[in-house]
Structure 1
Amino acid sequence: MAESPSLPDLDPISDRAVFRQIADHLREAIERGQLAEGDKVPSEAQLMQHYGVARMTIRNALQVLQSEGLTVAEHGRGVFVRSHPPVRRLASDRFARRHREQGKAAFIAETEGAGGKPSVDSIEITEVKPSPDVAERLKIGPKDRTVRRSRRYLINGQPVETAISYIPVEIAKGTQIMQPDTGPGGIYARIEEKGYRLDHFVEDIKSRMPLRDEVRALRLAPGVPVFHLVRTAYASDGTPVEVCDTVMSSDAYVLSYELPAR
């Protein structure tokens, strides 16, 4: 096959289904770099000729790769190896005060550090009674209300993350937290201006498959899971000042942590 990776022949005595053998061969070519990010996968006709199988067998093999998030089909152009331009999310650095002092929120600082162009859209601000879980994390009563800030983050125009912050009303009221543009340094800069000096953050992270609305919001390819992260921000006196419920496209981020050995 011209301008294609060297693919092995089918194993006639294998008990593995033919379409899965073909998927295995293509996956190995991707993992070895014979098919790099953005490269076009051999066409159905090329694969049919090489393996001597029906078109439906080839389509089933390609569907396996797409369901694993390794490839993406572009109508009228073919199937391509999916690009994964990850942002390294440095847990030990992203909320450093120096970023806020420079007028940059965490997402802006880390995205620009990776050479990307950050943007935010779908901003919604409402006053709500939080869920029992959020209320417990904020240590507020069942009748207390919070300001809910929902937004979507994009890198180079590609959605990568949705986030919903819950801030106690007495902290958010009278600040730019109530406005679409929270100002230099973002939410945390405004919270510190209210006298709540941030001390530490606690994050709970799990990986799962996305819900239908999350697939739509993040434009996820089939088979791509998400990171579901819930973060609680604490002031120096131990007061919880914000809970942020975040859903992140797993192929857009590398989660990096520095842990002390003491």
Structure 2
Amino acid sequence: MAELPLPELDPLSDRAVFRQIADHVREAIERGALHEGDKIPSEAQLMQHYGVARMTIRNALQVLQSEGLTVAEHGRGVFVRSRPPVRRLASDRFARRHRERGKAAFIVETEEAGGKPSVDSIKVSEAAAPSDVAERLELAGGEHVIVRSRRYLINGQPVETAVSYLPSSIAQGTQIEQPDSGPGGIYARLEELGFRLDRFVEEIRSRMPFREEVRALKLAPGVPVFHLIRTAYAADGRPVEVCDTVMSSDAYVLSYELPAR
């Protein structure tokens, strides 16, 4: 333990021993004594330092993993979890100036945060609109939509999945149906088609992830997600897209500037 000095246990504390140990390691991470990707002292080292049973150490490590601070790699040990640069989910991320520069919102904000953006798992299909999507898009029952699903990554680490639904009457036969929707993304294509975007309405809630979301976003135990549903409206008031997005909560800060009027 010479490489990582840790405090001794407080025998007078009413805090459980495994929680004291978790507190010590957490504090080492927070003060920078352990950095992202660093290996946590082994179970044997921690047992020797604290003079406790293996199960006590494992309980302490489980606390840290459940908080999203560490990740266990089979056969290698426990490591401080690496996190992508925080992407600020700002209120101006869909400003027209970004599209005019040929950049979609994710690219702009990730680059501003110092990260390298990428997109994978792109799938495009046509299907009958789900009932909640049809209601948001003001479509009649049975009308079809173009469905675009994809996963966003920062520095190769997945942080977000998104599924967009656009009326087939608008998007069918356009570049929106292609895996690569072109510079500025689908919002730039919509405006080229004559649907000048006027406003976006978003609903955001926090929840624990579903099993498939844990896999897709490679989430550590205990890390919740933001579930965001956005509806884009054209200048004539017509809804032209619904986007259902799930984001790893530790990769985002929600930052909004609201007018006081």
Do Structure 1 and Structure 2 share a fold, with TM-score over 0.5? yes
> Which letter does structure 1 place at the counterpart of 2:40?
V
Name whichever of 106-115 and 57-66 sits farther off: 106-115
User: In structure 2, what is the Cα distance between the partners aligned to 1:5 and 1:170?
Assistant: 65
Name whichever of 29-38 and 247-256 sits farther off: 29-38
2:155 equivalent in structure 1: 156
2:141 equivalent in structure 1: 142
Unaligned runs of 5+ in 2: none
User: In structure 2, what is the Cα distance between the partners aligned to 1:120 and 1:135?
Assistant: 27
The Cα shift of 1:152 comes to 1.0
Deviations 1:17-37 (CA, angstroms, capped at 9, x unpaired)? 322222222223333434333
Q: How does 1:43-62 map to 2 (within 5 A)?
A: 43-62=42-61
The Cα shift of 1:14 comes to 4.1
The Cα shift of 1:206 comes to 1.0
Note the aligned Cα RMSD (angstroms). 1.7
- Give the secondary-structure state (helix, strand or coil) at the position aligned to 2:125: strand
Q: CA 1:88–1:119 in structure 2 vs 1: closer, same or farther (change >3 Å)?
A: closer
Q: How does 1:1-262 map to 2 (within 5 A)?
A: 1-7=1-7, 9-262=8-261
User: In structure 1, what is the Cα distance between the partners aligned to 2:203 and 2:162?
Assistant: 14
The Cα shift of 1:13 comes to 4.3
Unaligned runs of 5+ in 1: none
TM-score w.r.t. the length of structure 2 is 0.93
The Cα shift of 1:83 comes to 2.3
> Which letter does structure 2 place at the counterpart of 1:106?
A
> Which letter does structure 1 place at the counterpart of 2:184?
G
TM-score w.r.t. the length of structure 1 is 0.93
User: In structure 1, what is the Cα distance between the partners aligned to 2:4 and 2:70?
Assistant: 16
The Cα shift of 1:15 comes to 4.3
> Which letter does structure 1 place at the counterpart of 2:6?
S
User: In structure 2, what is the Cα distance between the partners aligned to 1:43 and 1:151?
Assistant: 38
User: In structure 2, what is the Cα distance between the partners aligned to 1:172 and 1:246?
Assistant: 20
The Cα shift of 1:119 comes to 1.6
Q: Would the aligned equivalents of 1:88 and 1:254 in 2 still touch at CA under 8 Å?
A: yes
- Percent of aligned pairs with the same amino acid: 81
- Give the secondary-structure state (helix, strand or coil) at the position aligned to 1:126: strand
The Cα shift of 1:189 comes to 0.6
The Cα shift of 1:227 comes to 1.0
Q: Would the aligned equivalents of 2:86 and 2:250 in 1 still touch at CA under 8 Å?
A: no
- Give the secondary-structure state (helix, strand or coil) at the position aligned to 1:251: helix
